[in-house]
Amino acid sequence: RNLIVWKAAAPMIPHNLNTIFIECSYPLGRQDEFLYGHLSPEHLVQELAALAREVAGVRRGLTRPDRSPAKKKQRLQATPSTPSELHDALSGMRVFIIHCKEDLSAEFELPIHTVIATQVRKLVDELRLGVEIIPAEQGMCIGEL
C-alpha cells in the first residue's frame, strides 16, 4: 500500500534515512476486517519486505529515483527480487512501532507495544531483512539508541 513512499525512500536508505516510525496497532492474528485500516505484524512485515525489495532494486541499479513521467506505471510496480537479495537489505535501519492499541482483554502479560514489537521482530528475522525493531515508549529519547 505504501509502494510510492518506499520507492521514494529506497535510494536514501540507510545513509540519509535510517529511521522509520510506523504504526502497528494490533498483535498477530487479528482478522483483516477488524483492523479498520491499521496494520498488524503480518501487514507491517509485508510493507517492510516491499521496502527491502525497493532498496535491493536501487542497489542493483534496476530502479531509478527520478520521477520521469514516461515510466510512471513501471515505477509503481514492486521491484522483483529473490529472498536472498532481501537479506540485510534494511541493515542500518531502525523501525519504531507506534500507535499500538490497548490490550483491553488483558490477553498478554507484557505491555502490548512490547508484544507487537516482539512479533514483528520474529517475522522480520525470519526474512533476514536486517532491520532493528523498537517499540516506542512514551517519553523515550530516540536520538542515538
Q: Which residues of the chain are modeled with pLDDT < 70?
A: 63-80, 144-145
Position 75 scores a pLDDT of: 47
Position 76 scores a pLDDT of: 46
Closest CA to 9 of 45, 72, 57, 41: 57
Question: What phi, psi does 21 have (nearest 5°)?
Answer: -105, 125
Q: Which residue has the cell 523515550?
A: 140
β-strands 94-98, 19-23 pairing: parallel
Cell numbers at 115, concatenated? 508484544
Q: Answer for the pair 28, 103: CB distance below 8 angstroms, yes or no.
A: no
Position 83 scores a pLDDT of: 84
